[in-house]
Structure 1
Amino acid sequence: MTSHHHHDHDHPHPHTFHAGSEKAEQSTRWVMWITLATMVVEIAAGLWFNSMALLADGWHMSSHALAIGLAAFAYATSRRLANDRSFAFGTYKIEVLAAFASAVFLIGVAVLMVVGSVERLIEPQSIHYAEAVAVAVVGLLINVVCALILNHQGHEHHHHHEHGHKHHDLNLKAAYIHVLTDALTSVLAIVALLGAWFYGLNWLDPVMGVVGAVLVAVWAKGLLVQSARVLLDREMNDPVVEQLRGILTALPGTAVKDLRVWRVGSAKFAATTWLESESLQVADVHRAIEQSHLPLTHVTVQVSKP
């Protein structure tokens, strides 16, 4: 006996583009335009005032502008294609793919930042400290504002959690961490400029550029791993898997021969399972799963006799 069950009867796809996602799209668009404007100012100021730390902050922000732009694009694409039946399990992975692409770009930016910083260490240049510090402070304030916007949106997403299960909006999280990392890089730029300005530590400016590059690389690695795990369906270690296995093994006289679970939405999973039982009915399995309120939207069950 084999049966497929779709828990979200009212929706054609498990990735429903609800009001929270629309607000997340609007927030990321606002943050993208703010970040782009700040990026242009910081890069221009870094070139004009000969500050590698400021340039590194600007280039770092450019990577965030791209990543946040990709996040907004992914939200819009997911919404536009939400009813496209060619996506077997919905359009959620468009957002994950955008996060993966931005992480790859970040690695390239980190390399460029290191190269530029080493060049400044070998051939130091004069810096207009007062102007550079002013621009870096403005950049930091703008990053704080952007972080508050995205953090507020994150709390709204948290408000929409279902049945106590954690909501994983990788797109929103990616944008938020980008902004936070950029704020940290702004702080490094300010520290480097003040150290060189007041204490003559001219080497501090390019060194902070390297530190900023390391921060970018570390963040990029984390995002690559996290997004690749979803893209490759490597989520059999998610708590929902053992919770589902526990429900199935608790059914009288049932042996779980196979169980596969993968993510099809930010807080939605699909599953297939093969059970062996003398008397168990497929309807009994679906009833037990529904009563558990696990975040499962597609479940395929096969029951055979031992």
Structure 2
Amino acid sequence: MKCNRETEQKSLIAVIIATGGVMIIEVIGGLISNSLALLSDAWHMLSDLTALLLCFTAGRVALKPPTKDKTYGYYRVEVLSALANGLMLGLVTIFIFYEAFNRLMHGVKVKSLEMLIIAIIGLIANLISAIILSKHSLNLNVKAAFLHVLGDAFSSIGVITGALIIFFTGWQFIDSIIGLTIGLIIIYGAGRMLYEVLHILLEGVPKHIDVAELKETLRSIDGVVDVHDIHVWSITSYIHYLSAHLTVKPYAIKDLNVTLNKVKRILKSKYGITHSTLQLEEEGYKEVGEIHTF
């Protein structure tokens, strides 16, 4: 397992370096060729570079134990980084839209050959990165990075298509249209990211979990009569916690370890909840001053 984790981390480092290098090339190429599409694609790669760095950081942070004053560890650093990234991308998209409409109104000449060459370099780098990451597709964290790189490859194909159209037809406005399209892709991704980040920070229920269905599943366990005061939340996008009170039959209290193991096994296998705090209460028990039951 340790060997696999180290290999995955090395693969991520290689892809991060490649993505960062291509992003810099696209920025320089965009300025030289005067292509908004290339510059927009570079900003798109910046968003994915940040996502790759988050994937890498998550893998490293997972190995760092909690401390006495950080009992959850440092997983929320990933969430805060994603929040900053989403806000930054929103500002970048405003610039892309402004520049695109300005170019459509006044017209700007684009050097299509330089644009084409840089976009091809970007596509090749993205395809190589995708191949590297595809070897570790069983890891959900790396799989997310793979999808980001694949998205970059499709953006590069769009820029290449635009460069060819401009080269053969002279339609300069195509560059701005592609820039707008990539801007829409960026703002869509940033919006989804911000929604997920705020949902986690507000300690919302993970999107794959239906609390009503979860309660029914727990009630179906032998010895469990009812479930109340249940809370489900996430520390980060892939670590989920639960606390709940379970009303149980007297024999379930006697076989405490058996009952707890049954519940925890289902929580982990069916819902991906790796940490749970459960209070078992015998039928007839009433908690003094109890509030907020669900």
> Fold-level match, TM-score > 0.5?
yes
Structure 2: distance between partners of 1:150 and 1:228: 28
2:278 corresponds to 1:300: yes
Confirm whether residue 258 of structure 1 aligns to residue 229 of structure 2.
Answer: yes
Structure 2 residue corresponding to 1:82, chosen from 65, 87, 95: 65
Q: Structure 1 residue 286 and structure 2 residue 260: aligned?
A: yes
Q: Which residue of 1 aligns with 2:292?
A: none
The 5 Å alignment of 1:206-217 reads: 206-217=176-187
Corresponding residue for 1:33?
Answer: 17
Identify the residue that residue 160 of structure 1 maps to in structure 2: none
Question: 2:100–2:180: 8 Å Cα contact kept in structure 1?
Answer: yes
Contact 1:70 1:102 in 2 (8 A): no
* Structure 2 counterpart of 1:234: 204
Using the alignment, how far apart are the partners of 2:137 and 2:100 within structure 1? Answer: 35
Q: Which has the higher contact order (CA 8 A, sep 6+)?
A: 1
Cα deviation, residue 57, structure 1: 1.7
3-state SS, counterpart of residue 203 of structure 2: coil
Q: What amino acid maps onto 2:94 in structure 1?
A: V
Per the TM alignment, residue 71 of structure 1 is displaced from its structure 2 partner at its CA by 3.6
Normalising by structure 1, we get a TM-score of 0.77
Residues 13 and 56, structure 2, Cα contact 8 Å, conserved in 1: yes
For 2:109 and 2:207, locate their aligned partners in 1 and report how far apart those are by CA, in whole Å.
53
SS in structure 2 of the partner of residue 254 of structure 1: strand
Give the aligned partner of residue 52 of structure 2: 68
Give the counterpart letter for 2:85 in structure 1.
S
The residue that corresponds to 1:126 in the other structure is: 109
Separation of aligned partners in 2, 1:73 and 1:287:
32
Instruction: Using the TM superposition, give the Cα deviation of residue 214 of structure 1 relative to its aligned residue in structure 2, in angstroms.
Output: 0.3
Q: Once the 2 structures are TM-superposed, how far is the Cα of residue 263 of structure 1 from its aligned partner?
A: 3.4
Task: Write the distance in 1 (CA, Å) between the matches of 2:235 and 2:206.
Answer: 13
Which secondary structure state, in structure 2, belongs to the residue aligned with residue 106 of structure 1? helix
Q: Distance in 2 between matches of 1:247 and 1:55?
A: 52
Residue 301 of structure 1: CA displacement?
1.8
- Letter aligned with residue 150 of structure 2: L
Q: CA deviation at 1:246?
A: 1.3
Q: Which moved more, 1:181-190 or 1:19-28?
A: 19-28
Residue 227 and residue 152 in structure 1: after superposition, are their counterparts in 2 closer, same or farther (change >3 A)? farther
In the alignment, structure 1 segments of 5+ residues that lack a partner are 1-16, 158-167
Aligned counterpart, 2:82: 99
Normalised by the length of structure 2, the TM-score is 0.80
CA distance in structure 2 between the partners assigned to 1:19 and 1:94 by the alignment: 25
Q: Secondary structure at the match of 1:238?
A: coil
Note if contact 1:71-1:99 (Cα within 8 Å) is conserved in structure 2. no
- In the TM superposition, residue 222 of structure 1 has moved relative to its aligned partner by 1.9
Cα displacement (A) at 1:211: 0.6
Number of residue equivalences:
276
Pick the aligned partner of 1:110 from 80, 87, 93: 93
Letter in 1 for 2:183: A
Would the alpha carbon gap of residues 291 and 29 (structure 1) be closer, same or farther in structure 2, given more than 3 Å must change?
closer
Distance change (3 Å), C-alpha of 1:90 and 1:24: farther
Q: Unmatched 5+ residue regions in structure 2?
A: 285-294
Quote how far apart the aligned CAs of 1:174 are: 4.8
CA contact (8 A) 2:134 2:143 kept: no
Give 1:130 shift.
1.7
Cα distance, 1:72 vs structure 2:
2.8
